[in-house]
Amino acid sequence: MPQSVPVRCPACRREHVYLAPVYPCACGAPTAPRLDPATEPAVAAHRSWDDEWLTVPCAECGRRNHWPHPELGCPCGAVLRVPVRDGVPDGDAGAGTETEADARVDQGTDADPDRGTGTRSPASVPEAVVRRAAFRPHTIRTARDAVTAAALYLRWLGYRDIRRADQRPPRGIGLAARGLLAQVDPTVRPAAARDVECLWLTAMTASSNCAYFSLAGYTDEARDGAAALGIPLFVLDLAGVPRPVNDPAGTLEAEGAPERETKARDGRI
């Protein structure tokens, strides 16, 4: 069974229960770093690709696997680095290459939901989501991986015709689907209120809904602005799993794409 530990956010003191992600070793055995519940988590304020990976030995075959350092997105906007008992930082794991799924997003076609490694644990998502097929994340090592992970997630929610947005956002990369405009911010600086508001204004001109995906979280002002405008905010962890950090994001994850998008996809309207 995956290990779960209590995690208290140092920024807002909220209590969370974190379920360790499990990854498949090449030998087929499930592997995961052992979490350390006795150590306080740290806020990932300054992020570096070289510091975001662990080398974890497989208990079955001893192979040294490279996995993302466990992280948790708090609703306050902080990204928490969950302490581990084993696993050492892997400074050589930051490099990545363009994948087939990345190329499909660049070319304006849907990303393949069957790509990526691992599965999302039902214990970490609402009951309504468990009834759908499990989300299969795409591990993030590069900025391009972050875009692929967001595209896979949007398709899992039920959106189709996912492509690069025609208008480039002030920062990050824009994705468009039927009825939705999404912004993916793979930088190491938390998204600001201006970033969220620009996305909302662009979506308004296209008569579309919108959603924001950030790797480094959000400032308090950005969270307040998103709450007032009803914009779903997600934090991407390095395993490629978007975590809702406000109520609109939680609702979108629980309910999926709006009913009219599903009908349009099935040809009923």
| Domain limit, last residue, from 89, 114, 142 | 89
* Residue 50 falls inside a structural domain: yes
The reply to whether 94 falls in a domain is: no
**Is there a domain that residue 39 lies in?**
yes
Claim to verify: residue 213 and residue 112 sit in the same structural domain: yes
**Same domain, yes or no: 51 and 143:** no
Instruction: Give yes or no: residues 186 and 221 share one domain.
Output: yes
**Whether residues 207 and 179 fall in one domain:** yes
69 vs 135, more confident = 135
* Whether 222 contacts 190, CB under 8 Å: yes
pLDDT band at 139 (very low <50, low <70, confident <90, very high): confident
Question: Of 23, 54, 89, which residue is a domain's last?
Answer: 89
Q: Cα–Cα distance between 184 and 106 in angstroms, integer?
A: 14
Question: If DSSP states are collapsed to H, E and C, what string results for the chain?
Answer: CCCEEEEECCCCCCEEEEECCCEECCCCCEECCCECCCCCCEECCCCCHHHCEEEEECCCCCCEEEEECCEEECCCCCEEECCECCCEECCCCCCCCCCHHHHHHHCCCCCCCCCCCCCCCHHHCCHHHHCCCCCCCCCCCCHHHHHHHHHHHHHHHCCCCCEECCCCCCCCEEEEECCEEEEEECCCCCECHHHHHHHHHHHHHCCCEEEEEECCCECHHHHHHHHHHCCCEEEECCCCCEEECCHHHHHHHHHCCCHHHHHHHHCCC
Query: pLDDT higher for 30 or 218?
Result: 218
Mean pLDDT of 43-48: 67
- Is 222's pLDDT higher than 60? yes
Residue with the larger pLDDT of the pair 30 and 231: 231
**pLDDT value for 4:** 74
Residue 53 sits in the same domain as residue 174: no
Q: Which residue has the higher pLDDT, 187 or 122?
A: 187
Task: Answer whether residue 142 is part of any domain.
Answer: yes
- Structural domains in the chain (count): 2
95 within a domain of the structure (yes/no): no
Same-domain pairing of 55 and 169: no
Q: Note down the domain range covering 228.
A: 100-266
pTM: 0.55
* pLDDT higher than threshold 70 for residue 234: yes
Question: Is residue 12 domain-shared with residue 110, that is, in the same domain?
Answer: no
If asked whether residues 138 and 214 sit together in one domain, one would say yes
Same domain, yes or no: 75 and 118? no
- Under the banding of pLDDT at 50, 70 and 90, the label for residue 153 is very high
- Is the confidence at residue 100, as pLDDT, over 50? no
Q: Answer yes or no: do 153 and 215 share one domain.
A: yes
Domain boundary among 27, 55, 89: 89
243: pLDDT confidence band, cut at 50, 70 and 90?
very high
Question: pLDDT averaged over the chain?
Answer: 76
Residue 199 pLDDT > 90: yes
Whether 145 and 252 share a structural domain: yes
Among the listed ranges 6-10, 52-56, 201-205, which one has the minimum average pLDDT value? 52-56
**Which two structure tokens, joined as six digits, stand for 22?**
């499990």
The reported pLDDT for the residue numbered 37 is: 81
Same domain, 124 and 250: yes
Whether residue 10 is predicted with pLDDT greater than 80 in this model: the reply is: yes
